[in-house]
Amino acid sequence: MFESIINEYLESEACKNWSIIAILEYIKSKSRITADMIEVVKEEIYSALQIFRDTHNVHVHVNAKNKARRILASFEKSFASVDVKLFIHELELHNERREFHLTVCRNVTSSNTLQALEQHRSTRKAIEEVCNTNVDTAISSVDDESYQYQVIEEENRLQENIHKRSFTEYETNNLHPFYDESEFNINIILTMEKYCKKQTTSKFDLAHNYILDLTPKSKIERYFEPEIWAKLIADRPATAKPEYYKEIEFICDHLFGPPSKKKRWKLNKYRERWASLRNLEIPDYDDDAPYERGDWERILYWAERAVGSFLNAFESEHNPIQQNDCGEREWFGGYIVPIFEGALTLNSICRVPWGEVTVIATIRRKNHDKNALEHQVERGHLADFVCKINQQEVVCGLACGGPHKYDHTKWESDEYHLPRMLKDTLDDMLENCRSRNRRASNLYTIGIQQYMTEIRIYMMEKRDVYRFHLLKSFNLPLSHALFSNLRFALSWAWNIKGLVERLSFELEDGMIVSSRTPERDPPDEMKTNTTPERSKKKKV
């Protein structure tokens, strides 16, 4: 969430000025941060400093590495300092003031409007009395005509006042984006349409496909007010804030040690821990746990396989993932797939093909308006990794490059196609739910994107438009120095398993048999556009 901001601070600021409070203040100046995010920020600062300390980049000065090492040595103490506590207290105070302001604005009632309505009623009664009198008498009488004219003028004046007061109150209570969801949604759509009409907007921008990019690299962010954008970032579905990883902390602590440990273990220590993994005692089982009592051994085998491939590489005389010729297929298939495919197949309802997998939902979208007997149908985009529940695609993954090099064109293509694939699979899911008369408000799709050693986890949901969230970004280790980074990989693979399992309950058919005719699908006003043709390079 804040990795790029933290790295920007470490690269731009002199290392002698580094401190925990300075990093927090810098994050606050660049992005919206609340007291609830402190634990996430703490985790990301620790990870960034670890990477900075252990980097082999020759451009990083030794003083910077030493400074990072000193901060990490007293990390917990620094986060418990008075300055940091005051910083968190200020965040809490700011949040309380904001909530108070919102509460006041939501509950505004206008006594002036009620008074104006009462005056309007009395005026209407007077007008009705005038209309019921003899018209000829009213016309012949100058006084009556004058009176009627005054009454009508008074009515017009009051109507104008009522309109102004009512609109002001409606605007205060409803039009403000924090108060009325429907008006807020309209504001988002209008902003996106305005953004798409600009000449500077790329024809490959996701906004053309009604996808609101809420990731840190979003280009549409500057067209929203900071408060509105912060609300959009924070306004995620409850399922987008998973804490399923806590269920396997027992395994992670055994393999990597507790998160608070200050010293890094030697490689043989990690191997000993890995070798004794199958002897790990089963923790106290809770009936609410997302796995069956007999699944504990399968979970241990998954963790053993996922971590073991990295241990084997680190112990090798010529570490294969440190070699420049380690390509995309070797890196993705040998080290990344066991992490995510292994976790997802723990759900017996999932199939996880990988390699070159055709996304069926994308084929359906591309060929929706075509007659297969007359036209040549288009081919769907290929994914490197797909998770299916009863043929319904719920997770799509794309891989780009080995751990040391990548194809820049493929990377740009993946960034464009992954959100569109998630939109296609979500549309397919929504259509299936409507045909079964099922509720479709809690549906989402998950995206996994691999870029060299970086893994990004995305989620897409549909509300006013299609919202594209970045849930997490982390790096996989290439050497023993960063072996503990696998904790993030295991935790988030387990998180995705939990998200898919929750989604499966939304997708399974109900037991009640209904003869009601399914509702007709409304016209799709947010169609995914065909891929624009690339401009030919001009010779200079």
Q: Is residue 209 part of a domain?
A: yes
Specify whether the CB–CB gap between 204 and 532 falls below 8 A. Answer: yes
Same domain, 258 and 220: no
pLDDT in 10s for each residue of the chain, 540 residues: 677 788 888 877 878 788 888 888 888 887 778 877 888 888 888 888 888 787 766 556 777 788 888 888 888 888 888 888 888 878 877 776 666 554 444 443 344 444 544 555 565 556 556 555 544 444 444 344 454 555 455 555 544 554 444 434 433 343 333 334 556 677 888 888 888 888 888 888 888 888 999 988 888 988 888 888 888 888 877 766 666 666 788 888 888 888 777 778 888 898 999 999 888 887 776 666 666 777 888 888 999 999 999 999 998 888 898 888 888 899 999 999 999 998 898 877 888 998 888 888 888 887 776 766 666 666 667 889 999 988 889 999 999 989 888 888 888 888 888 999 999 999 888 888 777 767 677 789 999 999 999 999 999 998 888 999 998 899 999 888 888 889 889 989 998 988 888 888 877 765 444 555 555 555 566 777 677 766 665 555
Residue that the structure tokens 């009512």 belong to: 166
Q: Is residue 529 part of a domain?
A: no
Same domain, 486 and 426: yes
Same domain, 144 and 215: no
- The C-alpha atoms of residue 127 and residue 142 are separated, in whole angstroms, by 17
What's the total number of domains in the chain? 4
Q: Is residue 514 part of a domain?
A: no
Same domain, 196 and 50: no
Domain residues for 216?
A: 181-234
Same domain, 244 and 283: yes
- The C-alpha atoms of residue 382 and residue 386 are separated, in whole angstroms, by 10
Specify whether the CB–CB gap between 495 and 345 falls below 8 A. Answer: no
Q: How is residue 475 annotated by DSSP?
A: E
DSSP E strands in 452-502: the ranges are: 454-462, 466-475
Q: Is residue 526 part of a domain?
A: no
Q: Is residue 162 part of a domain?
A: yes
Cross-strand partners of 450: 399, 455
Same domain, 380 and 484: yes
Same domain, 503 and 355: yes
pLDDT of residue 114: 44
Which SS3 state, helix, strand or coil, does residue 524 take?
A: coil
Same domain, 255 and 354: yes
Q: Is residue 416 part of a domain?
A: yes
Domain end call among 79, 106, 133: 106
- The C-alpha atoms of residue 376 and residue 410 are separated, in whole angstroms, by 26
Domain end call among 214, 234, 254: 234
Same domain, 343 and 458: yes
Q: Which of 507, 491, 506 is nearest to 242 (CA)?
A: 491
Same domain, 201 and 288: no
pLDDT of residue 105: 43
- The C-alpha atoms of residue 445 and residue 429 are separated, in whole angstroms, by 9
pLDDT of residue 258: 83
Q: Is residue 516 part of a domain?
A: no
Same domain, 291 and 398: yes
- The C-alpha atoms of residue 249 and residue 29 are separated, in whole angstroms, by 33
| 3-state DSSP of 229-243 | HHHHHHCCCHHHCCC
Q: For residue 352, give both structure tokens.
A: 């996880």
Q: Is residue 528 part of a domain?
A: no
- The C-alpha atoms of residue 490 and residue 486 are separated, in whole angstroms, by 6
Specify whether the CB–CB gap between 485 and 474 falls below 8 A. Answer: yes
Same domain, 459 and 487: yes
